[in-house]
Chain A
């Protein structure tokens, strides 16, 4: 089946630094990818939609200059959390839209801890 590989699975960084999270579609081309954030014991919240070759679309309340999304190829989308702060600590998950059959496939998630 369609697999999205997400790395890293866990990362700890210092306040003020930047962290890059990668999502790769392994056996299919992902024209559209979605980035979600999930705080402990809460639901997944859509942050942004990335389309290959164009600018990402951000949901209301998500700072585009803080959460940089790049979708430069049909198999790779990246999310960079810039100038991270402790309140950015969360579980970040990417998801790719599956063409044709429809539906979505999720990456394994990245647990970000900012200290």
Chain B
């Protein structure tokens, strides 16, 4: 089955700086890669996603890059703000999205004022 590795587990950055979280996956059949933000006790919130036919996607301060050959994808947050503090999860899905998601272990992002 799919295995998703996520690094780092904790990331502390100064407000206004950029944050990068990286994930690797094992199943070459995976074709959908979402990123979620989760606050304590709440449901995961989709912040951005990318499919395997695209190498990069951007939405305001958030961007995701995908390298299919190397099987890794990354989340980039620029101009970080205090409200960006949360746990972020990457995930991967194969089977055209008909399968469930395999999540990384999560990154606790801390934005220092």
Classify chain B's interface size. Answer: 20 to 34
Would you call A44 and B89 a contact (CB within 8 A)? yes
Would you call B105 and A44 a contact (CB within 8 A)? no
* Interface Cβ pair total, 8 Å cutoff: 49
Return A36 CB to nearest CB of chain B, in Å.
8
- Give complex CA distance A91, B43 in Å: 10
Give the residue of B89, B100, B102, B105 whose beta carbon is less than 8 angstroms from that of A95: B100
Instruction: Write the B67-83 contact mask toward A (1 if CB under 8 angstroms, else 0).
Output: 00000000000000000
- Give the A interface residue count (CB, 8 A): 22
The segment out of A11-19, A64-72, A76-84, A96-104 that lies at the interface is A96-104
Q: Is the interface of B mostly helix, strand, loop or mixed?
A: loop
B42 located at the interface, meaning its Cβ lies under 8 Å from any Cβ of chain A in the complex: yes
Return A22 CB to nearest CB of chain B, in Å.
15
User: 17 A-B pairs, CB-CB below 8 angstroms?
Assistant: A43-B103, A43-B106, A44-B89, A44-B101, A45-B103, A46-B101, A46-B102, A93-B44, A95-B100, A95-B101, A102-B97, A103-B32, A103-B97, A104-B34, A106-B44, A109-B41, A111-B41
A residues near B (Cβ < 8 Å) are: 32, 34, 36, 42-46, 49, 60, 91, 93, 95, 97, 102-104, 106-109, 111
